[in-house]
Amino acid sequence: MNVEQTVLEVSGVEITKAILVDLQKLQQYSGEPMAAVYADDLLRKMRLLRDQLSFDPYTEVLMALHDALAYSNRWIDYNASQYQGICDLLTSLVNQETISNSEVEDSILTLENLGFETLPFGVKIDDSLDRDSDEE
């Protein structure tokens, strides 16, 4: 392993530790105005991790969470137990040496089961369009 890879791994771990601290604070201040400070810091750290480790499977899970929190400031709508669920999930992922694609999928499903909409930027398809118009 070269020095550059080691530095990236350490920074990813450090960013993750900071993300967990913000999540714990967000859980603690859930529903209060002070939560906005931690939500802003959390979202910034998630984007930093995305920029530094964009191809890491762990980052994919965090970006699904990011979208669920950032879209229309939905971080306001989530409660302390949901934030605790995220902390538990991320702690279990961080303690693993590698994360497989199926673990990424399972983690995103866990976020969904906790009540987080991980795909808030969906595309709506107009079902009223006649798709077989060429056959007429």
Is 32 contained in some domain?
A: yes
Is 69 contained in some domain?
A: yes
Say what the pLDDT of residue 64 is: 95
Write down how long the chain is: 136
Range of the domain at 24: 3-118
Neighbours of 29 (CB within 10 A): 17
With a pLDDT cut of 90, the percent of the chain lying above it is 60
Domain count, the chain: 1
Q: Is the pLDDT of residue 132 over 70?
A: no
More confident: 120 or 103:
103
Torsion sign over Cα 92, 116, 72, 77: negative
| Close Cβ partners of 115 (under 8 Å, ≥ 6 residues apart) | 78, 82
Say what the pLDDT of residue 76 is: 95
Is 54 contained in some domain?
A: yes
pLDDT band for position 130 (50/70/90)? low
Task: Convert the pLDDT of each residue in 80-101 to its tens digit.
Answer: 999 999 999 999 888 887 889 9
Asked if 49 and 12 count as a contact pair (C-beta separation under 8 A), the reply is yes
Is 48 contained in some domain?
A: yes
Is 43 contained in some domain?
A: yes
Asked if 61 and 93 count as a contact pair (C-beta separation under 8 A), the reply is yes
